[in-house]
Structure 1
Protein backbone atom coordinates (compact mmCIF):
# COMPACT_ATOMS: atom_id res chain seq x y z
CA UNK A 1 0.00 0.00 0.00
CA UNK A 2 1.66 3.18 -1.16
CA UNK A 3 1.13 6.59 0.23
CA UNK A 4 2.24 9.91 -1.19
CA UNK A 5 4.41 11.78 1.23
CA UNK A 6 3.23 15.37 1.53
CA UNK A 7 4.75 16.30 4.86
CA UNK A 8 6.94 19.38 4.78
CA UNK A 9 5.42 20.61 1.51
CA UNK A 10 3.62 23.91 1.82
CA UNK A 11 0.99 24.86 -0.66
CA UNK A 12 1.37 28.35 -2.07
CA UNK A 13 -1.10 30.85 -0.66
CA UNK A 14 -3.74 31.92 -3.10
CA UNK A 15 -4.37 35.62 -3.38
CA UNK A 16 -7.83 36.95 -4.08
CA UNK A 17 -7.40 39.82 -6.50
CA UNK A 18 -11.10 40.80 -6.58
CA UNK A 19 -11.24 40.85 -2.78
CA UNK A 20 -8.08 42.94 -2.59
CA UNK A 21 -9.46 45.40 -5.13
CA UNK A 22 -12.76 45.61 -3.25
CA UNK A 23 -10.99 46.31 0.04
CA UNK A 24 -8.80 48.92 -1.64
CA UNK A 25 -11.90 50.62 -3.08
CA UNK A 26 -13.54 50.67 0.36
CA UNK A 27 -10.39 52.12 1.92
CA UNK A 28 -10.24 54.81 -0.77
CA UNK A 29 -13.92 55.59 -0.24
CA UNK A 30 -13.32 56.04 3.49
CA UNK A 31 -10.10 58.07 3.25
CA UNK A 32 -10.89 60.30 0.27
CA UNK A 33 -13.26 62.67 2.16
CA UNK A 34 -10.73 62.91 4.99
CA UNK A 35 -7.95 63.75 2.54
CA UNK A 36 -10.17 66.41 0.90
CA UNK A 37 -10.89 67.88 4.32
CA UNK A 38 -7.20 68.07 5.21
CA UNK A 39 -6.31 69.69 1.88
CA UNK A 40 -9.17 72.16 2.10
CA UNK A 41 -8.16 73.28 5.59
CA UNK A 42 -4.93 74.71 4.12
CA UNK A 43 -6.76 77.02 1.69
CA UNK A 44 -8.32 80.44 1.91
CA UNK A 45 -11.84 81.23 0.73
CA UNK A 46 -10.89 81.92 -2.89
CA UNK A 47 -8.85 78.73 -3.22
CA UNK A 48 -11.66 76.67 -1.74
CA UNK A 49 -14.00 77.87 -4.46
CA UNK A 50 -11.65 77.93 -7.45
CA UNK A 51 -8.88 75.33 -6.90
CA UNK A 52 -8.85 71.54 -7.26
CA UNK A 53 -10.24 70.02 -4.10
CA UNK A 54 -7.73 67.19 -3.68
CA UNK A 55 -4.59 69.29 -3.67
CA UNK A 56 -3.13 72.44 -2.16
CA UNK A 57 -4.37 75.82 -3.27
CA UNK A 58 -2.74 79.23 -3.58
CA UNK A 59 -0.57 79.41 -0.47
CA UNK A 60 -0.66 77.57 2.85
CA UNK A 61 -3.31 79.08 5.13
CA UNK A 62 -3.79 76.36 7.74
CA UNK A 63 -2.43 78.34 10.70
CA UNK A 64 -4.36 81.43 9.68
CA UNK A 65 -7.53 79.37 9.43
CA UNK A 66 -6.91 77.85 12.85
CA UNK A 67 -6.50 81.33 14.32
CA UNK A 68 -9.74 82.50 12.70
CA UNK A 69 -11.66 79.47 13.96
CA UNK A 70 -10.45 79.82 17.53
CA UNK A 71 -10.95 83.59 17.75
CA UNK A 72 -14.15 84.16 15.74
CA UNK A 73 -17.01 85.61 17.80
CA UNK A 74 -14.92 85.76 20.99
CA UNK A 75 -13.88 82.11 20.67
CA UNK A 76 -17.34 80.58 20.37
CA UNK A 77 -15.81 77.50 18.74
CA UNK A 78 -13.92 76.72 21.94
CA UNK A 79 -17.21 76.91 23.84
CA UNK A 80 -18.80 74.50 21.37
CA UNK A 81 -15.81 72.19 21.66
CA UNK A 82 -16.02 72.22 25.47
CA UNK A 83 -19.77 71.52 25.29
CA UNK A 84 -19.22 68.57 22.97
CA UNK A 85 -16.46 67.23 25.19
CA UNK A 86 -18.74 67.47 28.22
CA UNK A 87 -21.65 65.77 26.42
CA UNK A 88 -19.36 63.01 25.13
CA UNK A 89 -17.47 62.31 28.36
CA UNK A 90 -20.46 62.42 30.70
CA UNK A 91 -22.95 60.90 28.25
CA UNK A 92 -20.73 58.18 26.81
CA UNK A 93 -19.14 57.33 30.17
CA UNK A 94 -22.52 57.12 31.86
CA UNK A 95 -24.02 55.11 29.00
CA UNK A 96 -21.13 52.63 29.10
CA UNK A 97 -21.43 52.18 32.88
CA UNK A 98 -25.23 51.82 32.81
CA UNK A 99 -25.06 49.43 29.83
CA UNK A 100 -22.41 47.32 31.57
CA UNK A 101 -24.46 47.04 34.76
CA UNK A 102 -27.68 46.35 32.86
CA UNK A 103 -26.16 43.77 30.52
CA UNK A 104 -24.43 42.07 33.43
CA UNK A 105 -27.70 41.85 35.35
CA UNK A 106 -29.57 40.38 32.37
CA UNK A 107 -26.83 37.84 31.76
CA UNK A 108 -26.09 36.67 35.31
CA UNK A 109 -29.28 37.05 37.35
CA UNK A 110 -32.56 35.16 37.13
CA UNK A 111 -35.61 37.26 37.95
CA UNK A 112 -39.23 37.55 36.90
CA UNK A 113 -39.68 39.39 33.61
CA UNK A 114 -36.06 38.86 32.54
CA UNK A 115 -37.00 37.42 29.14
CA UNK A 116 -39.51 40.22 28.47
CA UNK A 117 -36.97 42.86 29.47
CA UNK A 118 -34.35 41.32 27.19
CA UNK A 119 -36.82 41.34 24.31
CA UNK A 120 -37.68 44.97 25.06
CA UNK A 121 -34.00 45.93 24.94
CA UNK A 122 -33.53 44.08 21.67
CA UNK A 123 -36.57 45.80 20.19
CA UNK A 124 -35.33 49.20 21.31
CA UNK A 125 -32.14 48.64 19.30
CA UNK A 126 -34.19 48.76 16.10
CA UNK A 127 -35.71 52.19 16.89
CA UNK A 128 -33.69 55.04 15.34
CA UNK A 129 -32.81 57.90 17.62
CA UNK A 130 -34.24 60.46 15.21
CA UNK A 131 -37.71 58.93 15.65
CA UNK A 132 -37.57 59.73 19.37
CA UNK A 133 -36.28 63.28 19.02
CA UNK A 134 -39.67 65.02 18.85
CA UNK A 135 -41.28 62.98 21.68
CA UNK A 136 -38.14 63.64 23.74
CA UNK A 137 -38.49 67.37 23.13
CA UNK A 138 -42.15 67.34 24.20
CA UNK A 139 -41.30 65.38 27.34
CA UNK A 140 -38.38 67.63 28.26
CA UNK A 141 -40.52 70.68 27.58
CA UNK A 142 -42.94 69.49 30.27
CA UNK A 143 -40.00 68.85 32.60
CA UNK A 144 -38.52 72.31 31.98
CA UNK A 145 -35.08 71.09 30.86
CA UNK A 146 -35.24 72.28 27.25
CA UNK A 147 -32.34 74.55 26.29
CA UNK A 148 -30.18 73.15 29.09
CA UNK A 149 -27.32 70.61 28.95
CA UNK A 150 -29.60 68.02 30.57
CA UNK A 151 -31.68 67.87 27.41
CA UNK A 152 -28.65 66.40 25.61
CA UNK A 153 -27.06 64.46 28.49
CA UNK A 154 -30.10 62.48 29.65
CA UNK A 155 -30.84 60.79 26.28
CA UNK A 156 -27.11 60.11 25.83
CA UNK A 157 -27.15 57.90 28.93
CA UNK A 158 -29.56 55.46 27.28
CA UNK A 159 -27.97 52.87 24.99
CA UNK A 160 -30.08 49.77 24.24
CA UNK A 161 -27.41 48.49 21.87
CA UNK A 162 -24.83 48.82 24.63
CA UNK A 163 -27.01 46.85 27.06
CA UNK A 164 -27.52 44.08 24.52
CA UNK A 165 -23.83 43.96 23.62
CA UNK A 166 -22.80 43.75 27.27
CA UNK A 167 -25.39 41.05 27.94
CA UNK A 168 -23.88 38.86 25.23
CA UNK A 169 -20.35 39.64 26.35
CA UNK A 170 -20.98 39.07 30.06
CA UNK A 171 -22.42 35.60 29.44
CA UNK A 172 -19.00 34.39 28.29
CA UNK A 173 -16.62 36.76 30.08
CA UNK A 174 -17.81 36.26 33.67
CA UNK A 175 -17.83 32.61 34.84
CA UNK A 176 -20.72 31.62 37.09
CA UNK A 177 -18.31 29.61 39.25
CA UNK A 178 -16.36 32.77 40.07
CA UNK A 179 -19.51 34.55 41.18
CA UNK A 180 -20.50 31.59 43.37
CA UNK A 181 -17.05 31.57 44.95
CA UNK A 182 -17.34 35.29 45.71
CA UNK A 183 -20.73 34.75 47.34
CA UNK A 184 -19.40 31.90 49.45
CA UNK A 185 -16.58 34.18 50.63
CA UNK A 186 -19.19 36.68 51.79
CA UNK A 187 -18.83 39.27 49.05
CA UNK A 188 -21.97 41.30 48.31
CA UNK A 189 -23.36 41.63 44.81
CA UNK A 190 -22.34 45.27 44.37
CA UNK A 191 -18.84 44.62 45.69
CA UNK A 192 -18.51 41.57 43.43
CA UNK A 193 -19.55 43.61 40.41
CA UNK A 194 -17.06 46.44 40.97
CA UNK A 195 -14.10 44.38 42.21
CA UNK A 196 -14.37 41.23 40.08
CA UNK A 197 -16.90 41.40 37.26
CA UNK A 198 -16.11 44.91 36.05
CA UNK A 199 -12.45 43.97 35.52
CA UNK A 200 -13.46 40.98 33.41
CA UNK A 201 -15.90 43.16 31.48
CA UNK A 202 -13.31 45.89 30.76
CA UNK A 203 -12.87 45.08 27.01
CA UNK A 204 -16.63 45.10 26.48
CA UNK A 205 -16.97 48.27 28.54
CA UNK A 206 -14.44 50.06 26.34
CA UNK A 207 -16.22 48.81 23.22
CA UNK A 208 -19.54 50.26 24.38
CA UNK A 209 -17.73 53.42 25.46
CA UNK A 210 -16.33 53.93 21.96
CA UNK A 211 -19.69 53.36 20.28
CA UNK A 212 -21.39 55.75 22.69
CA UNK A 213 -18.58 58.28 22.33
CA UNK A 214 -18.92 58.39 18.54
CA UNK A 215 -22.72 58.57 18.72
CA UNK A 216 -22.68 61.41 21.26
CA UNK A 217 -19.88 63.33 19.55
CA UNK A 218 -21.70 63.20 16.19
CA UNK A 219 -25.17 63.81 17.65
CA UNK A 220 -26.89 66.53 15.64
CA UNK A 221 -30.64 66.18 15.34
CA UNK A 222 -31.50 66.05 19.05
CA UNK A 223 -29.35 69.07 20.06
CA UNK A 224 -30.76 70.96 17.10
CA UNK A 225 -34.28 70.47 18.47
CA UNK A 226 -33.75 70.88 22.22
CA UNK A 227 -31.17 73.71 22.20
CA UNK A 228 -31.63 77.28 21.04
CA UNK A 229 -28.90 79.06 23.04
CA UNK A 230 -25.63 79.05 21.01
CA UNK A 231 -23.66 78.89 24.26
CA UNK A 232 -24.86 75.28 24.71
CA UNK A 233 -24.46 74.15 21.09
CA UNK A 234 -22.26 71.14 20.35
CA UNK A 235 -19.83 71.26 17.43
CA UNK A 236 -22.26 69.61 15.03
CA UNK A 237 -24.93 72.29 15.45
CA UNK A 238 -22.42 75.15 15.64
CA UNK A 239 -20.60 74.12 12.46
CA UNK A 240 -23.90 73.74 10.65
CA UNK A 241 -24.80 77.27 11.72
CA UNK A 242 -21.55 78.52 10.18
CA UNK A 243 -22.24 76.49 7.06
CA UNK A 244 -25.66 78.11 6.77
CA UNK A 245 -24.01 81.51 6.95
CA UNK A 246 -21.51 80.46 4.28
CA UNK A 247 -24.18 79.33 1.83
CA UNK A 248 -26.59 82.12 2.66
CA UNK A 249 -29.32 79.69 3.70
CA UNK A 250 -30.02 81.58 6.90
CA UNK A 251 -30.06 85.05 5.41
CA UNK A 252 -31.21 86.84 2.33
CA UNK A 253 -29.44 84.45 -0.05
CA UNK A 254 -26.12 86.27 -0.28
CA UNK A 255 -23.06 84.06 0.12
CA UNK A 256 -20.55 84.87 2.84
CA UNK A 257 -17.47 83.12 1.46
CA UNK A 258 -15.16 83.75 4.39
CA UNK A 259 -17.15 81.21 6.45
CA UNK A 260 -16.02 78.33 4.23
CA UNK A 261 -12.52 78.08 5.77
CA UNK A 262 -14.08 78.29 9.23
CA UNK A 263 -16.39 75.36 8.52
CA UNK A 264 -13.70 73.18 6.94
CA UNK A 265 -10.98 73.88 9.50
CA UNK A 266 -13.44 73.55 12.37
CA UNK A 267 -14.46 70.15 11.00
CA UNK A 268 -10.83 69.02 10.98
CA UNK A 269 -10.44 70.01 14.63
CA UNK A 270 -13.70 68.24 15.47
CA UNK A 271 -12.51 64.82 14.27
CA UNK A 272 -9.16 64.91 16.06
CA UNK A 273 -10.50 63.74 19.47
CA UNK A 274 -12.28 60.77 17.89
CA UNK A 275 -9.14 59.71 16.02
CA UNK A 276 -7.09 59.96 19.21
CA UNK A 277 -9.68 57.97 21.17
CA UNK A 278 -9.73 55.17 18.60
CA UNK A 279 -5.95 54.99 18.37
CA UNK A 280 -5.61 54.87 22.14
CA UNK A 281 -8.43 52.37 22.82
CA UNK A 282 -8.39 50.23 19.66
CA UNK A 283 -6.78 47.20 21.32
CA UNK A 284 -9.59 47.07 23.89
CA UNK A 285 -12.17 47.66 21.16
CA UNK A 286 -10.89 44.79 19.00
CA UNK A 287 -10.68 42.32 21.87
CA UNK A 288 -14.13 43.36 23.06
CA UNK A 289 -15.71 42.73 19.68
CA UNK A 290 -13.99 39.37 19.32
CA UNK A 291 -15.04 38.14 22.74
CA UNK A 292 -18.58 39.50 22.43
CA UNK A 293 -19.16 37.67 19.16
CA UNK A 294 -18.88 34.20 20.73
CA UNK A 295 -21.89 32.16 19.71
CA UNK A 296 -24.10 31.16 22.56
Structure 2
Protein backbone atom coordinates (compact mmCIF):
# COMPACT_ATOMS: atom_id res chain seq x y z
CA UNK A 1 0.00 0.00 0.00
CA UNK A 2 1.27 3.45 -0.93
CA UNK A 3 1.83 5.97 1.86
CA UNK A 4 0.89 9.47 0.73
CA UNK A 5 1.55 12.69 2.63
CA UNK A 6 -0.59 15.42 1.13
CA UNK A 7 0.51 18.91 2.29
CA UNK A 8 1.08 17.66 5.83
CA UNK A 9 2.22 20.01 8.58
CA UNK A 10 2.67 19.19 12.23
CA UNK A 11 2.87 21.85 14.92
CA UNK A 12 4.07 21.11 18.43
CA UNK A 13 2.61 23.17 21.32
CA UNK A 14 0.09 24.74 18.97
CA UNK A 15 -1.33 28.13 19.96
CA UNK A 16 1.27 28.69 22.67
CA UNK A 17 4.33 30.96 22.82
CA UNK A 18 6.41 27.81 22.18
CA UNK A 19 4.64 26.82 18.95
CA UNK A 20 7.00 25.06 16.55
CA UNK A 21 6.57 23.61 13.08
CA UNK A 22 8.09 20.12 13.05
CA UNK A 23 6.77 19.41 9.54
CA UNK A 24 5.97 22.02 6.89
CA UNK A 25 3.66 21.20 3.97
CA UNK A 26 5.11 17.75 3.33
CA UNK A 27 4.05 16.30 0.00
CA UNK A 28 5.66 12.94 -0.68
CA UNK A 29 4.74 9.38 -1.60
CA UNK A 30 6.37 6.26 -0.20
CA UNK A 31 5.72 3.58 -2.83
CA UNK A 32 4.16 0.25 -1.92
CA UNK A 33 6.71 -2.55 -1.35
CA UNK A 34 9.59 -0.10 -1.40
CA UNK A 35 12.44 0.01 1.08
CA UNK A 36 12.43 3.72 1.85
CA UNK A 37 15.09 5.32 4.04
CA UNK A 38 14.40 8.66 5.71
CA UNK A 39 17.55 10.56 6.60
CA UNK A 40 18.37 13.97 7.99
CA UNK A 41 20.17 15.72 10.80
CA UNK A 42 18.90 15.46 14.36
CA UNK A 43 15.72 17.52 14.69
CA UNK A 44 14.96 17.48 10.96
CA UNK A 45 11.53 15.87 11.47
CA UNK A 46 12.24 12.24 10.58
CA UNK A 47 10.55 10.62 13.56
CA UNK A 48 7.70 13.12 13.53
CA UNK A 49 7.04 12.16 9.91
CA UNK A 50 7.06 8.42 10.53
CA UNK A 51 4.87 8.63 13.63
CA UNK A 52 2.08 9.86 11.36
CA UNK A 53 2.17 6.57 9.46
CA UNK A 54 0.53 4.55 12.23
CA UNK A 55 -1.42 7.35 13.89
CA UNK A 56 0.88 7.99 16.85
CA UNK A 57 0.69 11.60 15.65
CA UNK A 58 -1.96 13.26 13.50
CA UNK A 59 -1.44 16.16 11.10
CA UNK A 60 -2.04 19.72 12.22
CA UNK A 61 -2.81 20.32 8.55
CA UNK A 62 -3.15 18.06 5.53
CA UNK A 63 -3.88 14.37 5.09
CA UNK A 64 -1.94 11.14 5.43
CA UNK A 65 -3.19 8.19 3.40
CA UNK A 66 -1.91 4.66 4.07
CA UNK A 67 -3.66 2.39 1.60
CA UNK A 68 -7.35 2.77 2.41
CA UNK A 69 -6.65 4.48 5.76
CA UNK A 70 -6.97 8.27 6.00
CA UNK A 71 -5.66 10.41 8.84
CA UNK A 72 -6.41 14.09 9.27
CA UNK A 73 -6.36 16.43 12.25
CA UNK A 74 -9.98 15.67 13.14
CA UNK A 75 -10.46 12.20 11.67
CA UNK A 76 -8.82 9.13 13.23
CA UNK A 77 -10.91 6.32 11.84
CA UNK A 78 -10.27 2.79 12.97
CA UNK A 79 -6.79 3.17 14.45
CA UNK A 80 -6.92 -0.50 15.42
CA UNK A 81 -7.12 -1.60 11.78
CA UNK A 82 -4.40 0.86 10.82
CA UNK A 83 -2.04 -0.47 13.47
CA UNK A 84 -2.65 -4.01 12.33
CA UNK A 85 -1.42 -2.94 8.89
CA UNK A 86 1.44 -0.77 10.16
CA UNK A 87 3.99 -2.14 12.61
CA UNK A 88 6.24 0.36 14.39
CA UNK A 89 9.59 -0.75 15.79
CA UNK A 90 11.16 1.85 18.04
CA UNK A 91 14.84 2.49 18.66
CA UNK A 92 14.90 0.20 21.71
CA UNK A 93 12.00 -2.23 21.16
CA UNK A 94 13.15 -4.42 24.05
CA UNK A 95 11.77 -1.75 26.41
CA UNK A 96 8.27 -2.72 25.23
CA UNK A 97 8.41 -6.29 26.62
CA UNK A 98 6.05 -6.97 29.51
CA UNK A 99 4.58 -10.49 29.47
CA UNK A 100 5.49 -13.48 31.65
CA UNK A 101 6.88 -15.57 28.80
CA UNK A 102 8.37 -14.96 25.38
CA UNK A 103 5.47 -16.81 23.77
CA UNK A 104 2.85 -14.65 25.49
CA UNK A 105 4.69 -11.48 24.50
CA UNK A 106 4.80 -12.47 20.83
CA UNK A 107 1.16 -13.62 20.91
CA UNK A 108 -0.08 -10.35 22.42
CA UNK A 109 -0.34 -8.50 19.10
CA UNK A 110 -2.17 -11.19 17.12
CA UNK A 111 -4.56 -11.87 20.02
CA UNK A 112 -5.31 -8.15 20.24
CA UNK A 113 -6.32 -8.29 16.58
CA UNK A 114 -8.77 -11.17 17.22
CA UNK A 115 -6.55 -14.00 16.01
CA UNK A 116 -7.28 -17.31 17.75
CA UNK A 117 -4.89 -18.51 20.44
CA UNK A 118 -3.94 -21.52 18.31
CA UNK A 119 -2.97 -19.36 15.33
CA UNK A 120 -1.23 -16.81 17.57
CA UNK A 121 0.96 -19.54 19.06
CA UNK A 122 1.74 -20.86 15.60
CA UNK A 123 2.83 -17.38 14.56
CA UNK A 124 5.00 -17.13 17.69
CA UNK A 125 6.79 -20.31 16.67
CA UNK A 126 7.28 -19.01 13.12
CA UNK A 127 8.49 -15.56 14.13
CA UNK A 128 10.89 -16.70 16.83
CA UNK A 129 12.75 -18.64 14.14
CA UNK A 130 12.56 -15.75 11.68
CA UNK A 131 14.38 -13.49 14.15
CA UNK A 132 17.07 -16.12 14.62
CA UNK A 133 16.14 -17.54 18.02
CA UNK A 134 15.36 -21.07 19.17
CA UNK A 135 11.84 -22.21 20.03
CA UNK A 136 13.31 -23.41 23.32
CA UNK A 137 13.09 -19.89 24.74
CA UNK A 138 9.33 -19.48 24.13
CA UNK A 139 8.46 -20.57 27.67
CA UNK A 140 11.17 -18.49 29.30
CA UNK A 141 10.71 -15.03 30.74
CA UNK A 142 11.89 -12.38 28.26
CA UNK A 143 13.65 -10.66 31.15
CA UNK A 144 15.98 -13.63 31.57
CA UNK A 145 17.39 -13.11 28.09
CA UNK A 146 20.33 -11.09 26.87
CA UNK A 147 19.73 -7.59 25.53
CA UNK A 148 20.13 -8.77 21.94
CA UNK A 149 17.70 -11.64 22.46
CA UNK A 150 15.17 -9.31 24.08
CA UNK A 151 15.32 -7.01 21.07
CA UNK A 152 14.70 -9.91 18.72
CA UNK A 153 11.73 -11.10 20.80
CA UNK A 154 10.20 -7.61 20.71
CA UNK A 155 10.63 -7.47 16.95
CA UNK A 156 9.07 -10.93 16.61
CA UNK A 157 6.06 -9.56 18.51
CA UNK A 158 5.59 -6.79 15.94
CA UNK A 159 6.09 -9.10 12.96
CA UNK A 160 3.66 -11.69 14.34
CA UNK A 161 0.73 -9.50 13.29
CA UNK A 162 2.12 -9.65 9.73
CA UNK A 163 1.98 -5.89 9.07
CA UNK A 164 1.98 -4.67 5.49
CA UNK A 165 4.12 -1.69 6.46
CA UNK A 166 6.97 -1.72 8.97
CA UNK A 167 8.40 1.53 10.31
CA UNK A 168 11.92 1.14 11.73
CA UNK A 169 13.15 4.00 13.90
CA UNK A 170 16.91 3.48 14.31
CA UNK A 171 16.49 -0.30 14.79
CA UNK A 172 20.25 -1.01 14.82
CA UNK A 173 21.11 1.54 17.51
CA UNK A 174 23.86 0.32 19.87
CA UNK A 175 24.48 -2.86 17.84
CA UNK A 176 27.91 -3.90 16.59
CA UNK A 177 28.48 -4.30 12.81
CA UNK A 178 27.60 -8.00 12.84
CA UNK A 179 24.44 -7.32 14.85
CA UNK A 180 23.42 -4.51 12.47
CA UNK A 181 23.86 -6.75 9.45
CA UNK A 182 21.85 -9.57 11.04
CA UNK A 183 19.06 -7.18 12.00
CA UNK A 184 18.82 -5.62 8.54
CA UNK A 185 18.88 -9.04 6.89
CA UNK A 186 15.96 -10.01 9.12
CA UNK A 187 13.89 -7.06 7.86
CA UNK A 188 14.76 -7.56 4.20
CA UNK A 189 13.82 -11.24 4.51
CA UNK A 190 10.44 -10.30 5.98
CA UNK A 191 9.91 -7.72 3.25
CA UNK A 192 10.51 -10.23 0.47
CA UNK A 193 8.42 -12.99 2.03
CA UNK A 194 5.45 -10.71 2.85
CA UNK A 195 5.80 -8.13 0.04
CA UNK A 196 5.85 -5.45 2.72
CA UNK A 197 6.80 -1.79 2.65
CA UNK A 198 9.76 -0.86 4.86
CA UNK A 199 10.31 2.68 6.13
CA UNK A 200 13.69 3.11 7.81
CA UNK A 201 14.83 6.09 9.88
CA UNK A 202 18.59 5.91 10.31
CA UNK A 203 21.83 7.83 10.68
CA UNK A 204 23.76 4.91 9.18
CA UNK A 205 24.42 5.91 5.58
CA UNK A 206 25.88 2.47 4.86
CA UNK A 207 22.48 0.93 5.64
CA UNK A 208 20.80 3.37 3.27
CA UNK A 209 23.22 2.55 0.48
CA UNK A 210 22.99 -1.20 0.96
CA UNK A 211 19.28 -1.75 1.56
CA UNK A 212 17.15 1.20 0.40
CA UNK A 213 15.73 1.69 -3.08
CA UNK A 214 14.15 5.06 -2.21
CA UNK A 215 15.60 7.83 -0.04
CA UNK A 216 13.90 10.87 1.47
CA UNK A 217 16.17 13.58 2.85
CA UNK A 218 14.68 15.91 5.45
CA UNK A 219 15.91 19.28 6.62
CA UNK A 220 14.19 21.56 9.13
CA UNK A 221 10.81 19.87 8.71
CA UNK A 222 10.83 19.88 4.92
CA UNK A 223 11.77 17.48 2.12
CA UNK A 224 15.20 18.57 0.93
CA UNK A 225 15.50 15.93 -1.79
CA UNK A 226 14.51 12.39 -2.67
CA UNK A 227 15.45 9.68 -5.14
CA UNK A 228 17.45 6.50 -5.36
CA UNK A 229 20.54 6.16 -3.13
CA UNK A 230 22.74 6.89 -6.15
CA UNK A 231 20.80 10.03 -7.03
CA UNK A 232 20.82 11.33 -3.46
CA UNK A 233 24.40 10.51 -2.53
CA UNK A 234 25.73 11.97 -5.78
CA UNK A 235 24.65 15.40 -4.47
CA UNK A 236 27.39 15.45 -1.86
CA UNK A 237 27.63 19.25 -1.63
CA UNK A 238 23.93 19.60 -0.85
CA UNK A 239 24.11 16.78 1.70
CA UNK A 240 27.10 18.38 3.41
CA UNK A 241 25.23 21.68 3.65
CA UNK A 242 22.57 20.02 5.80
CA UNK A 243 25.00 18.00 7.88
CA UNK A 244 24.96 14.65 6.05
CA UNK A 245 27.67 12.77 4.20
CA UNK A 246 27.67 9.91 1.67
CA UNK A 247 28.87 6.48 2.84
CA UNK A 248 32.69 6.22 3.16
CA UNK A 249 32.87 3.76 0.25
CA UNK A 250 31.23 6.31 -2.05
CA UNK A 251 33.51 9.07 -0.76
CA UNK A 252 36.49 6.93 -1.72
CA UNK A 253 35.06 6.53 -5.22
CA UNK A 254 34.66 10.30 -5.56
CA UNK A 255 38.26 10.84 -4.42
CA UNK A 256 39.47 8.33 -7.01
CA UNK A 257 37.47 10.12 -9.71
CA UNK A 258 38.97 13.50 -8.78
CA UNK A 259 42.49 12.08 -8.49
CA UNK A 260 42.44 10.97 -12.11
CA UNK A 261 40.21 13.77 -13.47
CA UNK A 262 37.60 11.33 -14.72
CA UNK A 263 34.47 12.62 -16.40
CA UNK A 264 32.52 9.49 -15.52
CA UNK A 265 32.74 7.01 -12.68
CA UNK A 266 30.13 4.43 -11.62
CA UNK A 267 28.24 4.89 -8.37
CA UNK A 268 29.29 1.88 -6.30
CA UNK A 269 28.32 0.95 -2.74
CA UNK A 270 30.07 -2.42 -2.49
CA UNK A 271 33.76 -2.56 -1.50
CA UNK A 272 34.53 -5.53 -3.74
CA UNK A 273 32.86 -3.95 -6.76
CA UNK A 274 34.69 -0.65 -6.19
CA UNK A 275 38.03 -2.50 -5.94
CA UNK A 276 37.28 -4.24 -9.25
CA UNK A 277 36.55 -0.91 -11.01
CA UNK A 278 39.71 0.67 -9.61
CA UNK A 279 41.86 -2.30 -10.58
CA UNK A 280 40.40 -2.40 -14.10
CA UNK A 281 41.10 1.31 -14.55
CA UNK A 282 44.67 1.12 -13.27
CA UNK A 283 45.48 -1.96 -15.31
CA UNK A 284 44.15 -0.28 -18.45
CA UNK A 285 46.93 2.30 -18.21
CA UNK A 286 44.52 5.22 -18.59
CA UNK A 287 45.85 6.84 -15.39
CA UNK A 288 49.02 7.93 -17.22
Q: What's the TM-score bracket when you normalise by the shorter of the two chains?
A: under 0.3
TM-score by length of 2: 0.23
- Which of structures 1 and 2 has the bigger CA Rg? 1
TM-score by length of 1: 0.23
